[in-house]
Amino acid sequence: MNRNREIFVNGYKSGIPIGLGYFAVAFSLGIAARSYGFSAAQGFLASLLTYASAGQYMGFALYATNAALIELVLLTFIINARYILMGFALNQRMPEGTALHTRLLVSSCITDEIFGITIARPGVPTPFFTFGALIAAVPLWALGTALGISMGNILPLRVVSALSVALFGMFIAVIVPPSRKDKAVGLAVLTSFALSFAFSNLPLISNLSEGNRTIILTIMISAVFAALAPRTGESGDGLSDAQSSGGDSHE
């Protein structure tokens, strides 16, 4: 149990920089939510339960236009469908014997950034790291939304947008070390950048939502590199935190 607590604390510490980036982005989300008539309490609760930036922007806009609930549910599912792929990838690497309810909880904790730091961690991913990161990051996302609604007019929009650069810095910190260590990973990252730019400008494809473009690119690039450079084993020391803790994190 002490080992699990240590992993949780490490996850919490890793989640704090993500949460600070979330705070800045959520501030601009709160400004948008304010224009749609949401109160600070409503924005806080929505962000605390949803923590999906693109999905929330779309949800607030649809709610303001009195869209049907089924339309809201379906569009949210489409925009966030990439998290299904992330959930598959993460759960396949969880320690053997991890309980189903734990796997479901981990899947519900996934954001782009939390998935990134979890999957990039050496060894086999453990649930407690993901839980710690989520608990650190999501309250700041919710707080940023609420403050954006209540205080959004205080800061210039350009300043708020500039603060969100912290998230891009976090992404760079996640992808650079494994890219330098493994040429296949580095090539995959560069390919992803190039194709993502191309997809956002090509006719027809650029008309797809960002979430759908991400899904197409994820499947296509991962399939190609899985065939060209298949994994032969875990990187790192090959010993996960869960294994070294005697399997306590399986519960």
- Beta carbons of 5 and 100 less than 8 angstroms apart: no
Greater pLDDT, 34 or 161: 34
Neighbouring CB atoms inside 10 A of 141's CB total 25
- Which residue type is seen at 194? A
CA angle 178, 105, 96 (to 5 degrees): 65
- Which residue type is seen at 207? N
pTM of the model: 0.67
pLDDT digits (tens, 9 = 90+) for 196-245: 888 888 888 888 766 677 778 878 888 888 888 776 654 443 333 433 33
Neighbouring CB atoms inside 10 A of 89's CB total 15
Q: What is the pLDDT of residue 245?
A: 38
Question: What percentage of the chain has pLDDT greater than the value 90?
Answer: 18
Quote the mean pLDDT of the chain. 80
Helix (H) or strand (E) holding 100: helix 100-108
Question: What percentage of the chain has pLDDT greater than the value 70?
Answer: 82
Residue 240 corresponds to which tokens in the numbers above? 């996960």
Handedness of CA 227, 228, 233, 236 (dihedral sign): negative
- Beta carbons of 15 and 137 less than 8 angstroms apart: yes
Res. 159 pLDDT band, cuts 50 70 90: low
Distances (CA, A) of 117 to 3, 93, 114, 125, 134: 19, 14, 5, 10, 11
Residue range 125-151: average pLDDT? 92
Every domain of the chain and the residues it spans: 2-182+235-250
Is the model's pLDDT at 51 over the cut of 80? Answer: yes
Say which residues have a Cβ less than 8 Å from residue 89's Cβ, sequence separation at least 6.
Answer: 115, 119
